[in-house]
Structure 1
C-alpha cells in the first residue's frame, strides 16, 4: 500500500485543469483544513474532494467492491475511511465551508465527465448560497 498515492492522482489533475481553464484559482491539498481537501477555493468558500470509489466506499458503485481475500482488513480499512470522511466534512461545514465531492466514477468516462464537470462549476458558483455534498 506504500505505492498508493494520496495526491496528484489522474482524477484530481483532470478536475484541476478543467477548473483552471474555467478561470477558477485554488489551493491544493491544503493541510490547514480537516481532511486536507484536494481543492480549496477560498473566493467561493468551497472545498472539493475527489474521492476514489474504492478507497472512500462509494455506495452502489461497482468500483467500490471489496476484495474477497483478507476481507476483514479491507472492510475495516474502508469503513474507517468513510467514518473519517464524514467527520471531516461535518467539521468543514460547521466552520462555514461548502463541501463538494466528486467521485472517480463520475468522471471516468468522457461522456459522464463533461456533464459532471459542468455541474461542478455550477455547484461552485452557487455554493455561496448553500452547502453541496
Structure 2
C-alpha cells in the first residue's frame, strides 16, 4: 500500500531531478578543475550520458544508488510500500541502463559509472581521482 495518494505521489516524483543533480555537479566541477572539457546530457547518445568527453572517447554516468539499484550499497533498499510499482520501476531502470551501455560500447564509447555513495566526503577525493585517471588513460590521439 502506498503511503500517499496519487496526487501527492505525483507531486513528490515531479520534484526529483534527472539532470544537474548535486552529485553530477561535484563530478563536473572536479573534472573542469583538472582541465577537462566536456558536454553534459548529450541527447543524441544512448542514455543521454551525464558527461561526454569526446577527446577521451568516454562517457560518464553519475547514478543515484536507489534509482539505478546499486547492489550492496546501503542507500539501495527495496521500498516496503507499493512494492510491485517500485520493483517494476527500478528493474526497468537497470534494464534500460544495460541496453544503453551496450549501444554506447557498440558505438566505441568507454563508459564510467560513478555512484552517488562514492561521492560522500570520506571517499569523494579518491573516487574523483580514480575517475580522472580512468578518463585520461582513454585519450585518443
Specify the TM-score bucket, using the shorter chain as the normaliser. over 0.9
Q: Which residue of 1 aligns with 2:128?
A: 117
73, 80, 90: which one aligns with 2:85: 73
> If you compute each CA radius of gyration, which structure gives the higher value, 1 or 2?
2
Mark the runs of 5 or more structure 2 residues left unpaired by the alignment: 1-12
Which ranges in structure 1 are unaligned for 5 or more consecutive residues?
Answer: none
2:60 alignment counterpart = 48
RMSD of aligned alpha carbons = 1.0
Q: How many residues are paired up?
A: 128
CA contact (8 A) 2:55 2:139 kept: no
Q: TM-score, normalised by structure 1?
A: 0.94
Q: Which runs of 4+ in 1 moved over 4 A?
A: none
Instruction: Give the TM-score of the pair, scaled to structure 2.
Output: 0.88
Structure 2 counterparts to residues 1-133 of structure 1, below 5 A: 1-108=13-120, 110-128=121-139
- Give the CA deviation at 1:127: 2.4
3-state DSSP class of the match of 2:100?
helix
